[in-house]
């Protein structure tokens, strides 16, 4: 029975990772904006956290980050220019940006959403647990991504937004308030619908 369960877990991991790569490396997963992008790639990361817990959610978040890094090379945008540099060579600073801006927000998305779901699941209100964790997980990705740009690449980010430095914080807060919240609401709807169906299917097996 344990071997069967392990095999099923590996198959589920493979399916989630494949979905992350499908969404992460095709236009289906991103709605492009001048600097950032409204993404749906975090949806399987959050749902995976429901199924696999904090460690599994973090692992799926890593693969989300990996797809983001690949996109920096295959379909470079303003974020890629900031993280990888533009003709100045690759340095430890660029590595720091990759870890802090590309990978950390994605890993924390899986970790935090899984931890919140695990804590609220004990109340017996599964829809509430999924809703809160999906909203928080989605905002985690947005806030840590934009926050990393603000803290670690202030001048480059201001230039990418096309605003003076003193107006950058207001511009970032505007993105969080509008795009970030809309993205989080979409995450709640999708994660609840898919998460409930998936958990029902797994419980029957």
pLDDT digits (tens, 9 = 90+) for 59-110: 999 999 999 999 999 988 888 889 987 666 678 899 999 999 999 999 999 9
Q: Are 184 and 109 in contact (CB under 8 A)?
A: no
What proportion of the chain, given as a percentage, has pLDDT over 90? 67
Q: How confident is the model at residue 158 (pLDDT cuts 50, 70, 90)?
A: very high
- Walk me through the domains of the chain, giving residue ranges and CATH numbers: 2-204 (1.10.1760.20)
Q: How many Å apart are CA 160 and CA 36, to the nearest integer? A: 10
Residue 2 has pLDDT above 60, yes or no: no
Residue 1's pLDDT is: 29
* Cα–Cα distance for residue pair 46/119, rounded to 1 Å: 14
The span from the first CA to the last CA of the chain, in angstroms, equals: 12
- Each residue of 123-144: pLDDT tens digit? 989 999 999 999 999 999 999 9
Q: Sorting pLDDT into bands at 50, 70 and 90, what band is 33?
A: low
- In sequence order, the β-bridge partners of residue 37 are 32
């Amino acid at each position: 029975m344990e071997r069967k369960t392990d095999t099923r877990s590996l198959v589920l991991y493979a399916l989630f990772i494949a979905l992350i790569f499908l969404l992460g490396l095709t236009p289906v997963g991103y709605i492009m904006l001048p600097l950032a992008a409204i993404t749906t790639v975090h949806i399987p990361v959050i749902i995976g956290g429901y199924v696999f817990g904090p460690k599994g959610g973090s692992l799926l978040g890593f693969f989300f980050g990996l797809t983001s890094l690949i996109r920096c090379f295959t379909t470079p945008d303003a974020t890629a220019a900031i993280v990888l540099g533009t003709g100045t060579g690759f340095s430890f600073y660029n590595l720091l940006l990759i870890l802090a801006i590309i990978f950390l927000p994605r890993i924390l998305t899986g970790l935090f959403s899984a931890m919140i779901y695990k804590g609220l699941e004990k109340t017996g209100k599964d829809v509430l647990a999924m809703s809160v964790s999906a909203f928080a997980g989605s905002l985690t990705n947005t806030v840590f991504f934009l926050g990393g740009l603000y803290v670690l690449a202030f001048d480059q980010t201001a230039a990418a937004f096309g605003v003076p430095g003193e107006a950058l914080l207001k511009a970032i807060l505007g993105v969080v308030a509008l795009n970030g919240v809309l993205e989080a609401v979409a995450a709640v709807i999708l994660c609840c619908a898919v998460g409930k169906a998936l958990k029902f299917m797994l419980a029957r097996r």
